[in-house]
Structure 1
């Protein structure tokens, strides 16, 4: 197994606000979200890019479920779902961003301003809302 940040989260060696975890994928709050409630969905198996993922269907079933949960759990108007392959990929482990969106939230193009949670309690409250919606 690789020792990247996401593999450490998957192995339980690094703390994260885990929203969902099963045999296919682990989903957790992004530490520097575009908007609060921004979730990363990562395959449990270490692969760097989408082309490296052997069984795409089950993984994207988890992505689809997470997009629905983020939207309903946070009462968002929609979601922004995105992935980078190598270029702009901050961690060399496939990951899909599921970002809650509100109309007129100011997000434009591909510039992703980042924010932080005010406290551990605030991050936990977002994790809980999304997890309950799953």
Structure 2
């Protein structure tokens, strides 16, 4: 009986060792799996933030592009106008104070006083 008991004890010790090894392997596998899973989650979250930032940048760039396009269109229209005689005449009258031959200019003294007051206010600012 003692022989059989010894065998049984050896078997149970052997089974216990196998269980401990299996448990260690399982813990190692679970640890590695957890680390991989957490790194994937972190990477996905980081990519989501990056995508959101890029979308915001894209929206800003599209707005800038639209503003530049409208400004370009306005400048093209101004270039077309600047080639017309009416536009040249209008600019000469407004900016240079030029008049046509035999044309008389009437000046309202009240407007002169208002213009001088507004000019002096602008200069003081």
Higher relative contact order (CA 8 A, sep 6+): 1
Q: Give TM-score, length-normalised by structure 1.
A: 0.17
Q: Which has the higher strand share?
A: 1
Which protein is bigger by CA-based radius of gyration? Answer: 2
Q: TM-score, normalization: structure 2?
A: 0.18
